[in-house]
Structure 1
Amino acid sequence: MASSTKDELLEDSRTDSGIDSYRSILKSEEPQRPSGDFSSSGSRDKLSAGEERLDSAYNSSSITVDSLTEIVKDLNLAPLQQQQEPCPEASEQDDTLLTTITEDGDTLLHLAIIHNEVEIAQELTQIFPKEVLDIQNNLYQTPLHLATYLNLTSVVKDLVNKGVSLELQDQDGNTALHLACQHGLVECASEMTFSRSSLSTVLKMQNWRGLACLHLAALYRQHQIMKLLMKNGADLNIQEGTSGKTALHIAVELHDVTSVKLLLPGADMDSAMFNGCTPLHLAVGRQDAAIANLLCQSGADTMLRNMEDETALDLADGNDDIMALFPFDDIQISGRSVANVTF
């Protein structure tokens, strides 16, 4: 995909982060964008090891952990809407802080989460209105994305209780729940799946790789997450967007017997990929007799053909263990056909 096309796709998919609408409510000035050095080597190491850097403000913000603490202390910690006698100076200061964004799009809440300042993040979550809590930085990450990635369950819970959107996607198309499914963050996933009216929509959403939450859980063998998603109504037969695989196809490809057993009671075992292959085709093609047997015992159709006009048996390639699973109706003895013979 060309760079311009990707940028357009990201822009089209990004919902209003809330800062523009909230600025109009506050009628505040253009947000300040501090510059300077951001030094927290511990957090930097944690966020940079093997992953794309989450903190888009490193080396670009003068706000440090110490200054974050001082800023929060100076704020009126009562929710803005409950302030009965607002002080003009305090109100102006609060409004400025609410709309302060670094040059890379991070709010104070983003920065507090990145530095694992849980108490500060919780205080800011209570202070900030929902419009600010849903702001996405330049990597399209909301505070919920960051809190989930860092497994800050208490922050995730507070954000969810404040009604933040679960549907916002980062630059890879992942919602926060996608991240929890990929990394096996069960407690964070539990908070996001508990009594959420928008959950059914989120469970159907695909990232830019075409993967829904259940696909990611299966791909990374997150069995506990899979159980949680299934309990909350995830569609077991949803197809990923590139080749039409279901979670069962993915589990078979990975030779993951545990996932196959989890999915089989409710999944369509005859669901076909875009090329016509069923899970049984994949199991036989990968010479996995154990999973092929599970599928056959569960009633998988052995006669279905893919777009190459092949049945699963055609892919057995002489494997006796697998061929023994299939009935034959074309065996002849003394010129007479013998039906329903099984090796």
Structure 2
Amino acid sequence: MWQTSAQKILEGHSECLKKLIEDHEKRHTVISSLRSRCIDGSTLLHVAAYFGEHQHIETLLQLQVDVDILDYKGATPLQRSRDEKTMQLLLKYGAEVNWRDDDGNTALHMVCYGETGKPTRMDCLGLLFSQGGSTRKCNKKGLLPVHCAAIQGRHNAIQAVFESGIKETEFINKHSYERDTPSLPYLALSNGHLECTKWLISNGFLLKDREDIELLLDMVCNKDDKKNNLESVEYLLSNGLDVNICDKRGDSVLHLAALQIKSYEIMKLLLSFGAQVNLTNHDGITPLFNTVFASNFHGARLLIDCGASLKHQDNEDQTAFDHVKNTEDWIECGIFSNEINDLLRAYDLRKSVQLVRQVANKVKMKGAVH
């Protein structure tokens, strides 16, 4: 019975929550404690605040439930609220506007982060500012509320923070550089919010040293299809980032992109910005080798068309086609010229001959031992 009621309350059934509170108040069915975290780690007050049930909030507060009671993550009902009127009600009863939960987040952090895919709650931001909500408290990750807004691409929230106090911009810049905290453009762009990134940079917030390099390398080797990924790569390159930068292993951006099956458009973009098709890493491997390792047929065709060397040998004296595992798959994909297909067959034949010789030599050596 209780599990059914709890589930309905979590789904937002107001009447179920109302009946539970009324039954307790009238002593029909008494809950052991209104302060217990009986609804999936939350108290009834947290749930009422989350769903904006003002009448239920008033009732619970009148039943002496602490307005700043904590849920399983150390958050108050104010921090779980999602609308201005609910926040106003809780603040009227004395809710602590700058309380930090177990992760160090305040209500302002939570509103700045908001709900993914939903508009920024600007009215809630304005209310928290007016009640002394601090824009300068950082959570345990070192993030200010404005950083949370950048992660979600909420440039309107960021602008509101800037306008909330004197020298906010100066403070945020100083905070990012003095602490091991990513810049606002980095957080926005790494989470796929290109327009927010452009807005930030146009308003004087720049990427920290080497953040652009880290972003570019991450974008081309990340398998997730993040929003605006291709456009973000183009934006970084258009702003002067060297397309031939390499990571610690000597892999260029093109090397990394070549390892991804769905990277054709990014590879085309990199090549259009002057990516060196025959650049080698510390193992003597070119991007063409990586397309072979990943069975990236379309990427290989693109590189070959752009002048990738088929004769180049790595540090182990192997060419890219020496690493082809299933020649028939490459031929049957149907995107290579007859000349390339013939070359693939030749390499496959050579590997077969080498294998036969190796086996024969082993048999010969074994016979000599006996």
| Shorter-normalised TM range | 0.5 to 0.7
- Match of residue 246, structure 2, among 233, 236, 239: 239
Show the 5 A alignment for 1:112-123: 112-115=111-114, 116-121=120-125
> Contact 2:277–2:286 at 8 Å: present in 1 too?
yes
* Aligned AA (2:108): L
Query: Does the C-alpha gap of structure 1 residues 311 and 38 become closer, same or farther in structure 2, counting only changes over 3 Å?
Result: farther
In the alignment, which residue of structure 2 is the partner of 1:312? 320
- Match of residue 223, structure 1, among 227, 230, 250: 230
In the alignment, which residue of structure 2 is the partner of 1:142? 144
Cα distance in 1 between the residues matched to 2:51 and 2:241 = 37
Show the 5 A alignment for 1:66-105: 68-69=87-88, 101-105=100-104
Query: Does the C-alpha gap of structure 1 residues 160 and 228 become closer, same or farther in structure 2, counting only changes over 3 Å?
Result: farther
Structure 1: gaps of 5 or more residues: 1-35, 44-55, 74-95, 206-211, 332-343
* The structure with more radius of gyration: 2
* Aligned AA (1:143): P
SS in 2 for 1:229: helix
Alpha-carbon deviation of 1:110?
Answer: 0.8
Query: Does the C-alpha gap of structure 1 residues 245 and 63 become closer, same or farther in structure 2, counting only changes over 3 Å?
Result: farther
* Aligned AA (2:286): T
Show the 5 A alignment for 1:164-175: 164-165=172-173, 168=176
Cα distance in 2 between the residues matched to 1:166 and 1:257 = 40
Alpha-carbon deviation of 1:120?
Answer: 3.2
Alpha-carbon deviation of 1:63?
Answer: 5.0
In the alignment, which residue of structure 2 is the partner of 1:339? none
Asked which structure has the greater RCO (Cα within 8 Å, sep 6+), the reply is 1
In the alignment, which residue of structure 2 is the partner of 1:154? 156
> Contact 2:255–2:287 at 8 Å: present in 1 too?
yes
Cα distance in 1 between the residues matched to 2:315 and 2:130 = 56
> Contact 1:204–1:238 at 8 Å: present in 2 too?
no
Bigger CA drift: 274-283 or 308-317? 308-317
Query: Does the C-alpha gap of structure 1 residues 284 and 155 become closer, same or farther in structure 2, counting only changes over 3 Å?
Result: same
Query: Does the C-alpha gap of structure 1 residues 272 and 67 become closer, same or farther in structure 2, counting only changes over 3 Å?
Result: farther
SS in 2 for 1:201: coil
> Contact 1:134–1:165 at 8 Å: present in 2 too?
no
* Aligned AA (2:317): D
Cα distance in 1 between the residues matched to 2:198 and 2:101 = 31
In the alignment, which residue of structure 1 is the partner of 2:256? 250
* Aligned AA (1:253): L
Cα distance in 2 between the residues matched to 1:291 and 1:300 = 11
TM-score (norm 1): 0.55
SS in 2 for 1:199: coil
Show the 5 A alignment for 1:1-343: 38-39=46-47, 59-64=73-78, 65=81, 68-69=87-88, 101-115=100-114, 116-121=120-125, 133=135, 135-159=137-161, 162-163=168-169, 164-165=172-173, 168=176, 176-194=184-202, 196=204, 198-199=206-207, 201=209, 203-204=211-212, 212-218=214-220, 219=222, 220-221=224-225, 222-240=229-247, 243-255=249-261, 256-266=263-273, 267-317=275-325, 318=327, 319=330, 321=336, 324-325=339-340
Alpha-carbon deviation of 1:259?
Answer: 0.8
> Contact 2:200–2:206 at 8 Å: present in 1 too?
no
Alpha-carbon deviation of 1:295?
Answer: 1.6
Structure 2: gaps of 5 or more residues: 1-42, 53-69, 115-119, 347-370
In the alignment, which residue of structure 1 is the partner of 2:39? none
Give the superposed CA RMSD.
4.6
TM-score (norm 2): 0.52
Alpha-carbon deviation of 1:251?
Answer: 2.3
SS in 2 for 1:305: coil
Alpha-carbon deviation of 1:264?
Answer: 0.8
Bigger CA drift: 273-282 or 117-126? 117-126
Output one character per residue of 1:291-316: Cα deviation in whole Å (capped at 9) or x when no partner. 22322332334444334332223224
SS in 1 for 2:272: coil
In the alignment, which residue of structure 1 is the partner of 2:351? none
Corresponding residue pairs, total: 251
Which is helix-richer, 1 or 2?
2
> Contact 1:122–1:155 at 8 Å: present in 2 too?
no
> Contact 2:152–2:193 at 8 Å: present in 1 too?
no
Alpha-carbon deviation of 1:254?
Answer: 1.6
Query: Does the C-alpha gap of structure 1 residues 62 and 72 become closer, same or farther in structure 2, counting only changes over 3 Å?
Result: closer
Cα distance in 1 between the residues matched to 2:210 and 2:71 = 28
Query: Does the C-alpha gap of structure 1 residues 188 and 314 become closer, same or farther in structure 2, counting only changes over 3 Å?
Result: same
SS in 2 for 1:188: helix
Alpha-carbon deviation of 1:275?
Answer: 3.7
Cα distance in 1 between the residues matched to 2:141 and 2:304 = 46
Query: Does the C-alpha gap of structure 1 residues 285 and 167 become closer, same or farther in structure 2, counting only changes over 3 Å?
Result: farther
